[in-house]
Every structure is written in C-alpha cells, then in structure tokens.
Amino acid sequence: MVAVWRNFPEQCYSVLNNNGRKPKGNSRFFFAFNILGCSTLFVILVLLYNNSGDLMCHEKGSLVLPVLLYQKMAALGLILRLLLWTLCVPSLASFSPVDNLLIDCGGNESLRLEDGRTFKPDLELPSVSVSPISHIVVSHNASLPLGIYNTARIFKKKTVYTFSIKEEGWHLLRLHFFPVENTKYELKSAVFSVLAGGFILLHDFSFKMSAQNRSTLMKEFAVRVGTGDFLLTIHPSEESVAFINGIEVISTPDALFPSSVLAVSDGLPVKISSSIAFEMAYRINVGGPSLSSKTDALWRTWEIDHPFLLNPAAAHNISTSPDTIKYPPEVLEATAPSLVYATAEEMADSNVGVRRFNISWMFGVEQGFSYLVRLHFCDIISKSLNSLVFNVYIGKRPALRSFSIGSKARSLSTAYYVDFVVNISDSDKLLVQIGPPDMSSVFPNAVLNGLEIMKLSDSDKSLDGSFSAVAASLRVGKKKKMMLLIIASFLGGSTLLCLIVAAVYFLCIRPPSKQSNESTWLSLPAHLANSETKVSIVSTKSRAGSYASPAPSVGLNQILTFSEIKEATNNFDEDLILGIGGFGKVYKGVLANGTVVAVKRGNPRSQQGFLEFRTEIEMLSKLRHRHLVSLIGYCEELSEMILVYEFMAGGPLRKHLYGSELPPLSWKQRLEICIGAAKGLHYLHTGAMEVVIHRDVKTTNILVDENLTAKVADFGLSKAGPTLDQTHVSTAVKGSFGYLDPEYFRRQRLTEKSDVYSFGVVLMEVLCARPAINPALPRDQVNIAEWSMYWQRKGQLEHIIDPRLKGSVDPSSLRKFGETAEKCLAEHGVERPAMGKVLQNLELALQLQESFQKVYVTEFNARTKPTAKHLLHVSPSDPEKNVTASDEGNSEGTNTSSVFSQLMNPKGR
C-alpha cells in the first residue's frame, strides 16, 4: 500500500504524458480527462487527510496514518486509477471512411447512437435510392438496444437499394434484422433472399431459424466494389414478404483484407480477388471482455472467448494497459483495437512438471466452404524478446510451428496478425489450438489475443450453403442427364456401326491383304542396340474433320540415328542455335532429304527429362492439326534424347511482341495469331480422340511461320484430360509462373479451363506487348493479369495497349477482345468459357477490326487517292501477303514441315 502512495505522483505523470505517447485523435479528450481525474484523486486524498484528525496520532514527531484509513485511501486510489484506464479508451484509429452510408430503413428522422454514428432515413439520403418504395412498420419497444430496430421496411416483391459509391475497394456491408411486431405481417416467419454486388448473401433466409434466441440479428459481409452504383437486392420468396431494419455500407482500408492467404492444408497461397466476398462468422476478444462498437474504429463488436473454450481450466487470462500497445507500420490501427491486443489467454499453471497441453477453441462452421482465420498476437507477458515460442493448429493441422511473436513483431507489446485459409469439407466444426513447441529448451507457454473467422464465397459466388446445395444438385442432375444421353447415343451408334460392318463383311468380297512390312509405333521403344537402325512410322490419320490436317509426307515420326542428327546440325554447330529452353538447346538443321527442321537436344542437367521426352512423342504422334507443330522424328540412343520438329521461321510469338527489333505486328495480325492458337487449343480439348490439356500455354510456346500462321508447340507437360465420369485431373502443379491457373495452383485440380486461363494471359501479352511477370515494374503492375483486369473493369483498356497500336484499333474490336480475356482470367474455372467460345469471340473481334479498316481505307482513298505503297502503310496488314489463321480452306494442302523455334527460356515449370 505504501508503494501505491509513493508511486502516485509517478502514476499521475504517466497518465498526464499518456505513457510517453503523443495524444492523437479522440485521445486528446481522454488526455484532458486524465488530468482532471488525477487532480480529483489528489484533492480527495487531501480532504481525507485533513478531516481525519480523530484518527491521526503523532509518534516521535512524525505524522502516521492508521492502517484502516490508509487502506481506504489506497483502495480508492486504485479504484480511480482503474476507472481512468477503463474510461480512457485508447485512441481509435485515425481512419475516416470515404463511404459511410448508415441507413435507418423506414425511419423518418436522423438517429444518433451511443457510439457516435448517425443513421439517416433511407429515403432522405441523396446517395441511396429504393425501388420500388415499400411499406413501413414502426414499433415502440423500449427494450431494444438500438433505435434502428424500432422501424422496418417491408417488401412484397423484389426491391433494389442502389448506393452511390465514391471509393473503389473493400466495403463492409452490415444488415440489421428485427421482426417488428404488427398485426398484418408475421415477420419472424418471413423467408427471403439478399444479393449484393453479384454475390448471394442470404438465400431463403428466415429470422426465426437464424436468430437462435437472439432478439436482434446483424449479418456482416465484406465485398470489393467499384465506384458508381452498388446494388443490394432483397427478394421475397413465394407467398412471403421480406424486411430489413438497417443497412451499413462502410469503406475500409484495402490493406485490411489480404490479397493472398496461405492454405493450412498445403501451405500454398490462395489468391483473394474481387470475385470473392466474406461473411463474418466470429470476431473474438480472447482473454478479455466483450467490446462494443464504440471501441472500434470500424464500429465492429468483439465477443468473449469463454463460450468457445473446450477446457477453460487450460487457459488463464492476462491483460495490460492498452496504452502500452504499439502498432508497427505494416499493421493498421483499424485492424483491431488496442483493447484486443491488451488482453490474451495463456497456458494455465497445471501444477505439473512438464506442461504439454493445448488451449483449444471450437467453432461451428458450414461444411463445404473455405474460411479465413485471422489470429491476433501481442507479447504482453515476456520480459525479453523472442522468449515466447509456441505452435498453432487450425483444423487439427499445424499452421505455425515454433512461432515466435518477437521475431515477427520485432518488439514486445507490439500488434501482429497472421491469416490462413482452411477448407471445411468433412465436418461442421473448426478447431483452433495453441500449445507449447517441440523444443525442450523453451519455457512451455502460448498466447492468443484475438481471433476472427470469415467465410469465403464459393464458386457459385454464394455465401449461403442452402443455395450452394441447390446449385450443386442442379449440376449433378444436369450431369446425370448428359451422361445418360451420351451412353444412349454411344450404344445406338455402336449398334448401327456393328450392323454396317456385318453387312459389308457378308456382302463384299475382298481379296486377302498381304502383311505390311511397315511397323506401327505404339509406345516409346527401348534404347536402340544398333545405332544405324532406322524404322519408318505409319502416319496417324485425321480424326477431326476440317480441324485436322495430314502429316508431312517426308520423314514423319522417324526414329533417327544420332549420326543423322549430327550431320543435319553440322555436329551441333553453335552458330545454328535457335534458342535455349528448359529442355535444352534448339538447333536449326537440314535432313538428308532436304527438309529444314528444328532439333531440340535434351540437356542431361535439365530439370526436364525422360518423362517430358516421352510425353512429347506420345502426344504429337496422336495429334495432327495445322495449328499444332508437327513432330518429324526423334532419337534415343547413346543416352541422348533428341526431338526433331518442323521448322518455324517466324519463331515464338513473344519475340514479335517485345524484346527484339522485329517490326511490330498490326492489330489484325495479332488477332489472326490468337485465333490460330485458339484453334489449336480447341482441337486439343475437343477434336482429338481424348481430351488433351496442354498445361504450358504461353507466348514462347506459340510459334509462327513465315506467313505468321500460328502453331502451338511444346507438349512436354501435356496431360490427358478428365474422362466422362470426372470433373478434373488431380496432379502436381506444373507450368510457367505468371500463366498458372490460380485454381489449379491452389487445389492441384487440372481441367481444360486451366489452358483457358493461361491463354487469357497470352491475350493480355499480345495486347500490351510486355511480359506476364515483370518484377521491375511498380507493385500493382508486376502481374499482367491483375494489372490488365484492373483497367478492363474500369472500361479503360485502351490506356495499357501497345503504344505502337494506338490509333489503329477499332474500339468495338478492342472491347470484345477485352471481354474475352476477362472471361478467360476468371478466378474459378466454371466461370471461364470453353476454347470454342473464346475462338468465336476472337473471330468476331477480327471481323469488327476488318470492317473498321475497310471504312478507314475507303475514307482515306476518297481524300488522298493513295498509291498501293500508301495503302500498305495505312492498312495494318496486307491481305495479299498474309495467310489468315481463320482460312480453313487450305488446311488439307498446308505443308506443315515449314518451321519451328523456341527462343525464350520457359523455366518455372
């Protein structure tokens, strides 16, 4: 007690100086309040001292207070000090939202709440409109905590709230519900759906089923929106009405939501884009009291953690002064109030020698969804840095091992948080645990200060499991019908084919055929024993109508000897190198029969080896198309792995876009090349005997000949696609960084839509003439897919096109091209079109460009009567000199043994 009295001046000084921190924002009020409180405390103590003469005595000339009075004064001082700590809430983050639309649905006057917010009637805000206007129900229930629940707007049919958004980015959307009692409508049993920004927030929602004995209900969501109109649609179910009491639309700092999160299952990053929305499931102040909206910069509320603790005896709550909490630059103060970081749960004293137990929290979640789990940490118990080390488990999987808060926050009492994504597939419970590390040299302890759990929208852009279940059942039903139709068609066709074969067999007289001396290639042969052996291979017949073209007549699929390869390449002359790829060097060569070829020689030290070599042969031996590079032959002797292709004089598409001194391609030429590549990929997905997924679509694997006819090359990573009873192929992730389908990267589930995503990146490369990934650029421009889609969504794609194209591109052609690329780059595969649809859209973009050029040339002719030379300068491409990729009429007669090259390094597989 003596210490309290002696330290009182120091405590007053600390309060007056705000613990050495400069007051900011609302803390100036509390700073003044601290001065007033400490002064009041001092006056009270002086008065008690002066009015306690009957309790005082003199002993040896010194004034001594009796113990009883001293204890009362000390206790009073502590109580007032604690009162100051409670009232002096740390300053709220200095964040002022640009969009702060607080709506009292059905209200008739502004309503100010205790936390400082002012809700306004929905029909009086100029930035909010309601269509159609609906009924209002008013209640006068004095027991309700917030005035916004005293009124409700009721909807008999679909109604749309339109909000005018000023700032692009993440916005919190809060919906308030309370079934106001009235004689006309039974709102507790009302069933309705709510949609916002293209997301299904609630489906067949019922307050009675969702409130779980709560008098009011607030649902909080986070959606990334653009500037302009943001629509919130409320849709009553049949023979029901809908209602809502209040709506909040609040812009938040973009940094509050991550752009990518590590998955607990495999540790790989999960991309968070505008096609994902969040629903707040839990927001917990671990080890501390519940926090109301007045303590949070974004008016969020925080629950206590005790109801979720599996074994409360395993945890011990701790706390410190919120004034001591520091925020590093990378952690926004709006992330969580300092009151959250000032409290925590640590491992309780179990009175045993070795503490080997976890603190566990259990939360109910919805099966079939992914959840973002945000863990808030702050070391408020250690005396020295890096002395607190522990493990974290999410969903019974290790999320953090030997985690040291100090190494991340870099100082004590400093806020830090980490995010994870967990997929809930086989349970409706989520377990979060902290416990001691495996290291015996560290004192066993663990802390957790705060916890947020947010549901992620699924591939149907839904946050409601009831809608997802309906959508899934519809997909299953549609798939079953398609399967039955395919089986019936197959059986019918097989029966008809058998009848035709039987008729031909019995009615036709055929002479006996002589056994062919040619051997057919069926599988990759073993290493040849005789280096001089040479076997011819029977060419594969066309199987896809006009899409397929016959193979070259000269030397197709020959097993070539190593001596022949050396002769063709002048003993691998370095002057004949066309480029160096991930497999090895590529040489230009001439076979003995005069055929110009590209020879790709495997590098023994390359990361690509026998598997890619075999895959390339197997794939190209079965595929024939004018927009696929043809395999001439291969060599597999003396431990060599050599592939021989038709030579492509134009080389890879990339060098025609950037990084070389070649003349720039016109917009029409670029469209024709994209169309040719799309035809090749469409054939792989639909025209071959089985679905083939290329898995490495990029501008270095799209080659052009001397007429700029595009062909898809490099099938070393190709994979057979899913069968009829499969939706995907589960396989390890391979491909090139910058082109990888994010869904395939996260889940290792490969589909044809993975090629579609990669092709979308190619389209943006063609448009912008820059690499898919360029680390030298500013952070928001590094990834061409993200950067280009930002401008596409703004409708300003013309700002980022190749400067050499400006003025020559038809706006409608560019618009169609941009829309096509945007669909290809959709976050989820089900949202992307098939290659056939992509091909149609690109051909339409080409038609629009050709019409634009005709009008332009006609007007130019009328003004200047140009010469043929002038016309060649005005028109981006000369139709007399270029064979367009859309010309299928020449597919049968095309000599596909023209050219090949692979100049750029396709590493990153």
Residues noted as catalytic: 696
Residue 481 CA, chain-centre distance (Å), reads: 32
Q: Tell me how crowded residue 490 is: count the other CB atoms within 10 A of its CB.
A: 11
Contact 693, 684 (CB under 8 A): yes
Q: Which helix (H) or strand (E) holds 397?
A: strand 397-404
* Residue whose tokens read 């060569």: 589
Contact 617, 524 (CB under 8 A): yes
Cα dihedral 177, 180, 184, 189, rounded to 10, equals 50
Closest CA to 408 of 360, 376, 439, 435: 376
Contact 711, 627 (CB under 8 A): yes
Position 667, amino acid: W
* Residue whose tokens read 């999410």: 394
CA atoms in the 13 A half-sphere facing the CB of 301? 11
Contact 449, 403 (CB under 8 A): no
Contact 214, 293 (CB under 8 A): no
Contact 222, 171 (CB under 8 A): yes
Max CA pair span of the chain: 141
Strands 631-635 vs 558-559: parallel, antiparallel or unpaired: parallel
Closest CA to 778 of 770, 787, 788, 769: 787
CA distance 617 to 611: 10
CA distance 153 to 122: 10
* DSSP E strands, 30-188: 57-59, 62-64, 100-104, 111-112, 118-121, 128-131, 135-138, 151-155, 159-165, 169-177
Q: Characterise 19 by phi-psi region: left (phi > 0), alpha (psi -120 to 50), beta (else).
A: left
Closest CA to 528 of 639, 645, 642, 643: 639
CA atoms in the 13 A half-sphere facing the CB of 712? 34
Structure tokens at 101: 């639309």
Strands 278-285 vs 303-304: parallel, antiparallel or unpaired: parallel
